[in-house]
Structure 1
């Protein structure tokens, strides 16, 4: 799965869905800020609110330094859902520090129009929003749906640092317990799905202790990679329906990443080291070792078992460790099935 080059404010907002249809009635008209943001704002009662941006900005400044808890959803011009925080956060809000609005016309200014309990619908020019956020035009996967983006927001609370930290810790504990219970229920279902798929497609699979099924279709004679080493991999990722959601061919080159450091999904960190350099294989990865209950974007649904056809092109030694303070920037490599 390609690492997303997405429109973020900040990255925490796209960790995950809201159903705001009830507060987006057709008879409510968009207003517009001087910077070009089209907006509708609704109060706790679901009725449209008349917002004066200057008054809202003054109220927002009083909250700078506080933590906002909110649910967000991004949609394309064709109303395709890009991100859903309720889904990604299993119903819990994301929490983001409120900062001074540095750039007008972006997501920060949109959020500044809202108070606790408010809901908002904001429409942006996709290119303009991306340039303000990343310095570059909107990526093709967004623009292919049209050159506007709509952001739906529901503000849960605005809290001080201590209250927000306590709420976040409680939410994390609840989320982990909920995720574990779901994973335990999903594992046998995934295992059955994989077995049925293998039988239907005449695949003579082997199985790891964690539940990955694999078939080496072309043995290699080179070394197997070890943790920390850099691997180069050609791959095609598909749902079991046969729909391809990603491939290295789309990038025009193999992808590279270090083994065993969490920069890719767990199924890759475990599955790729099963192969010798030069090997080709099929990896059938249960959802718990892929994108789990959250799924990934519009292409990979929740609880999806994934098939990867892979080729281990190269294995290189781990780079020498650099002194503290001189480490290069982190993040998943371009093209890798990103870790969770």
Structure 2
């Protein structure tokens, strides 16, 4: 009888430990939200005290040329979409539902590095306002004219938010876009 009591205690302890281990495995395997950055990640940047404006971002090049984009270190990324025509273009402004051909050059705010550029390949086609691209493009390209060059500074909530497609979470995107083709009317 005494052995049965010991077996029950040992079995209960084993089941208890197994249950704890099982719970830990399940918890570790289940996604619990955004990933925790590795300990080598830089701490969150300190505020510079003001948001950048379009004029703080420096660009070079004219329509059709691969641009450069320089993001300053003395201001914070804007929290709202900012657009600035760098060259006007001609004809009617782009409207929702129109098929556009755009060249673009993308620099990420956090590391000030070029992430992508269509200037090295071919223009990107999209139907404006159809949700085929990030909301910052659908909103920021409205009204652009053929031959126009526009700066877009897109906050995370109008870009990739929690990250994706090689873009870190909460990343502000800076584009120079060229309207290669905007349909008339």
Note whether the superposition's TM-score is higher than 0.5. Answer: yes
Q: Cα RMSD between the aligned structures?
A: 3.2
Tell me the TM-score normalised to structure 2 length: 0.59
1:304 and 2:174 aligned: no
Displacement of 1:46 in angstroms is 6.0
1:196 and 2:52 aligned: yes
Mapped partners of 2:114, 2:58: distance in 1: 20
Mapped partners of 1:201, 1:249: distance in 2: 20
5+ residue gaps, structure 1, are 1-42, 48-69, 72-85, 92-189, 204-209, 319-340
Listed one character per residue, the Cα deviations across residues 273-320 of structure 1 (whole Å, up to 9, x for unaligned) are 13111100111111111111x1124x31111111000001102379xx
Larger relative contact order (CA 8 Å, sep ≥ 6): 2
1:257 and 2:126 aligned: yes
Corresponding residue number in structure 2 for 1:217 = 86
Mapped partners of 2:172, 2:52: distance in 1: 12
Corresponding residue number in structure 2 for 1:278 = 147
Listed one character per residue, the Cα deviations across residues 155-204 of structure 1 (whole Å, up to 9, x for unaligned) are xxxxxxxxxxxxxxxxxxxxxxxxxxxxxxxxxxx9x77x336464468x
Is the Cα–Cα contact under 8 Å of residues 95 and 143 in structure 2 kept in the other structure? Answer: no
Mapped partners of 1:202, 1:316: distance in 2: 29
Listed one character per residue, the Cα deviations across residues 187-226 of structure 1 (whole Å, up to 9, x for unaligned) are xxx9x77x336464468xxxxxx92112211110121111
SS at match of 2:181: strand
The structure with the largest helix share of the pair is 1
Mapped partners of 1:313, 1:46: distance in 2: 55
- Structure label with greater radius of gyration: 2
Mapped partners of 2:177, 2:125: distance in 1: 13
Is the Cα–Cα contact under 8 Å of residues 146 and 179 in structure 2 kept in the other structure? Answer: yes
Corresponding residue number in structure 1 for 2:9 = none
State how many pairs are aligned: 130
Identify which of 111, 130, 135 aligns with 1:266. Answer: 135
